Amino acid sequence: MRIAVIGGTGTLGRHVVADLEGRGHRVRALSRGSAEHPVDLRTGAGLPEALAGCAVVVDASNDQSRQAARTLVDGTRRLLEAEAAAGVGHHVCVSVLGCGRVPIGYFRTKVRQEAAVTEGPVPWTIVRAAQFHELVAATLGGPVLPLPRVLLQPVAAADAARAIAEVAERPARRGWVEVAGPEVADARALARTWRSVTGRRALTFPVPLPGRLGRELRAGALTSVRPDHQGSATFTAWLERP
Ligand SMILES: NC(=O)c1ccc[n+]([C@@H]2O[C@H](COP(=O)([O-])OP(=O)(O)OC[C@H]3O[C@@H](n4cnc5c(N)ncnc54)[C@H](OP(=O)(O)O)[C@@H]3O)[C@@H](O)[C@H]2O)c1
């Protein structure tokens, strides 16, 4: 199949592109910086040309700025219109595990992005992924680290990409698929792992997270008891990879 991956140069997207190519698909990696297929979800520029002939679109784009909704919500609507015009038969949206339970701005935007997909004109599947090891490692990399109690079930971006590629190969489910890692761990335990494997030091200190946000994060809102796809690489194994 010809498959377009929006955000095909990102942390997740580059693994999705490689995995789909490994399965024999013809893949177009789309992003603002792409030399071959430049597109901008904020304006819609380049989408009709880049989507021509594609059967499936995987949206692995991201925007964590204050204006994230312009890319993730308005951009999704633009993208779906362009997909409908191009005859795309399956839109795979990458979202975040537990985003509906955790009251922070970015997650609220992801919920609105999901609504744009479910109300949109193209058959869809939404893949809700846990935090990537890459994100956890980058977050723990700071010299001073305030650590609330948060249960996480991080997954390697490569493992999440494999699950997303499998979803993209199948017909649209008009439903949700959960992807998480092999272990649930508290952020403080992950910080200890990071220090012990990397040998680097960081000044960590516990901080309380009051209210509903803290309750949800401590209760495991970002984890899944029975994910549809479970990555195999633990955080330790991922940090120790060659
Ligand atoms: N990071 C995590 O731990 C995590 C966990 C669960 C789910 N997710 C989800 O996974 C998805 C990908 O996240 P990520 O961390 O891999 O993102 P990322 O590394 O920040 O990559 C974002 C990609 O989107 C492209 N992009 C940004 N703005 C764009 C625009 N206006 N038009 C077209 N392309 C644009 C970027 O390329 P250009 O800058 O060249 O345009 C890049 O290829 C997101 O939906 C995120 O919510 C992430």
Q: Which atom of ligand 1 is nearest to the CA of 32?
A: 41
The closest alpha carbon to 168, from 89, 80, 82, 67, belongs to 89
List helix spans (H) across the chain: 13-22, 47-51, 68-69, 75-86, 105-118, 133-140, 157-169, 187-198, 211-219, 235-239
Q: Which atom of ligand 1 is nearest to the CA of 33?
A: 40
Residue closest via CA to ligand 1's atom 47 equals 95
Residue closest via CA to ligand 1's atom 41 equals 32
Q: Which atom of ligand 1 is nearest to the CA of 75?
A: 31
CA atoms within 13 A on the CB side of 218: 12
- Give the chain's domains with CATH numbers: 2-239 (3.40.50.720)
Tens of pLDDT, residue by residue, the chain (242 residues)? 999 999 999 999 999 999 999 999 999 999 999 999 999 999 999 999 999 999 999 999 999 999 999 999 999 999 999 999 999 999 999 999 999 999 999 999 999 999 999 999 999 999 999 999 999 999 998 888 999 999 999 999 999 999 999 999 999 999 999 999 999 999 999 999 999 999 998 888 999 999 999 999 999 999 999 999 999 999 999 999 99
